[in-house]
Each structure stands twice: as C-alpha cells, then as structure tokens.
C-alpha cells in the first residue's frame, strides 16, 4: 500500500465532514479537493476503487441520517 492511500482517506473523511456540515463549497473544502487530486494520482487502481467505494458509503450514510 502506498503512503498516499491513508493520506487520501484522511482527506476524504475531512471533505465529507465539511459536506455534512454544509460547507462543501467552502475554501477549505476546495483546498482539500486540490490535495486529494494530487494524492489520487499516486494511488493504484485498486486503491482508487476502494476510495470510490468508501466515498459512496459516506454519501449513502449521510443521506440516511
């Protein structure tokens, strides 16, 4: 596993927290997205797929609350 994967997951979690708090369009969220783009490029295809699944789970969980 590359070191970028845990970093990406942490960024993903922070982004979803901001989205859940109604701050998905904030400067902070945009900065996290930029960081995520950089990290994403370092992930393997398998790691990218895992991140997609986790992101979808965050959205699904948020929508159920």
pTM attached to this predicted model:
0.82
The confidence score (pLDDT) of residue 12 equals 95
The confidence score (pLDDT) of residue 65 equals 56
Q: How many domains does the chain have?
A: 1
pLDDT at 1 over 50: no
Q: Can you say whether the dihedral through the CA atoms of 34, 39, 45, 50 is positive or negative?
A: negative
The confidence score (pLDDT) of residue 3 equals 83
Is 6 strand, coil or helix? helix
Query: pLDDT (tens digit, 9 = 90+) per residue, 7-65?
Result: 999 999 999 999 989 999 999 999 999 999 999 999 999 999 999 999 999 877 766 65
What tokens were used for 30? 């945009």
Show the domain range for 45. Answer: 4-64
């Amino acid at each position: 596993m590359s070191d970028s994967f845990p970093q990406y997951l942490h960024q993903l979690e922070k982004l979803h927290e901001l989205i859940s708090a109604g701050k998905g369009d904030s400067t902070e969220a945009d900065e996290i997205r930029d960081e995520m783009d950089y990290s994403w490029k370092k992930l393997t295809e398998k790691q990218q797929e895992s991140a997609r699944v986790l992101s979808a789970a965050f959205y699904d969980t948020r929508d159920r609350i």
